Amino acid sequence: MATAGQTDEGDRASLQLMQQLLVSTLDPRQQVREQAEQQLVGARDGDFSLFLISLARVLDAQLSADPLQVQEQLLAKQIAAVTFKNCISAKVTGESRSAAAAQT
């Protein structure tokens, strides 16, 4: 059974991984960028709710005391916000189209 400390460490690790993936989507190296995008799409398609929760956690995360990390964390928050909005918009638009198609 996991202790609270182990859970916190796992949560921090998953938060850092999500932040790293989000920032990597802007990497100038095509291979790095595409791998990050593929992992994010896989996470989104695998468990949409968990993906949104992960994005929300990035948005909610406190900024580091280390000034070198703050810029990357802010960038991750910006990407998470846009990604969250786009996911919700696509979901709502898709449901609207499905409802319209069902009525015809």
End-to-end CA distance of the chain: 52
> What is the reported pLDDT for 91?
79
Query: How much is the pTM?
Result: 0.80
> What is the reported pLDDT for 93?
77
Look up tokens 């969250």; give the residue: 84
Q: Where are the domains positioned within the chain?
A: 4-103
> What is the reported pLDDT for 6?
54
CA distance 69 to 77: 12
| Residue 95 scores a pLDDT above 80 | no
Looking at residue 68, its amino acid is: L
Q: Give the model confidence (pLDDT) of 34-86 as tens digits.
A: 999 999 999 999 999 999 999 999 999 999 999 989 999 999 999 999 999 99
> What is the reported pLDDT for 68?
87
Helix, strand, coil content of the chain in percent (nearest 5): 85, 0, 15
